[in-house]
Amino acid sequence: MGIVNVTPDSFSGDGLGDNTDAAVRRAVKMRKDGADLIDVGGESTRPGFTEVSADEEMRRVVPVIARLRHELDIPISIDTYKAEVARAAIEAGASLVNDVDGFLREPQIACVAAQAGIPAIAMYNHRGRQLRDTIGNIVEGLLDSLGIAREQGLPDDQIIVDPGFNFGWKDDQALEMIRRLAELRVLGRPILIGTSRKSTIGNVLGGLPVEDRLEGTAATVAIAIANGADMVRVHDVKQMTRVARMADAVVRPDGRPSGRGRNSEAAAL
């Protein structure tokens, strides 16, 4: 999954503001570099981020998605927790909803995905929560998300789960998450993880700035795949495509996913 941030304040320094042409060029290049889908976001979720209105978020993302619908032959995802934004993005051409609040903030976003007949990603967001056990917290939170989705008409087999790397975790907890990622298979859902350029990588490697976290990202991507990740969300598509293909050749030599619950439309992405 290649990341296209149509924001002025992305933590990774790659925010494109409202430059639709630049966003489309980046997405097209990511496709050429090996991306299997593109995730378009119009609001930063960095620590301490400033929320924007649904109208502003739609103003940023809808023109990009509408253009990409005709430029790309791969799925387009909308990165939002707002049901109104998700609905507009789907009408523009998005075929996947990526919710960093796991349907908890606006449960109706799961209904929007259900009505459109498309999959959704439910991320566990640890910000503001008490820690008991890293994987235990994640499993409990994602079970809540799956329950909300069912209530909104979105079945389990339409959901991809994301443990929320660096969303409220200390560095040692974020690393434990990757180390124990295989335990999330108990949920029976495809697993996505997004470690790309995150602060934990910079901290572990002696305070490296965002632009110098490529190798650290590569290490987390490879280990996450070895531990069961089915999708990785990244900024540096060319390099991480190579890492993912090499990791897959080692851990999935027969070409089949290693996790459970793979006979689903979500996994078909």
Calpha distance 256→71 (Å, rounded)? 29
Structure tokens given for 49: 């981020």
H or E stretch at 151: helix 134-151
Q: At 70, which amino acid appears?
A: H
Burial class of residue 111 in the structure, from the number of CB atoms within 10 Å of its CB (0-12 exposed, 13-18 middle, 19+ buried): buried
Calpha distance 259→148 (Å, rounded)? 23
Catalytic residues: 198, 233
Calpha distance 99→75 (Å, rounded)? 16
- CA 139-140-146 angle, to 5 degrees, is 85
From the list 69, 37, 254, 44, the residue with the least C-alpha distance to 160 is 37
Structure tokens given for 63: 């023109």
- CA 67-38-204 angle, to 5 degrees, is 140
From the list 212, 219, 173, the residue with the least C-alpha distance to 195 is 219
Calpha distance 47→66 (Å, rounded)? 29
* Half-sphere exposure at residue 208, Cβ-oriented, CA atoms within 13 angstroms: 16
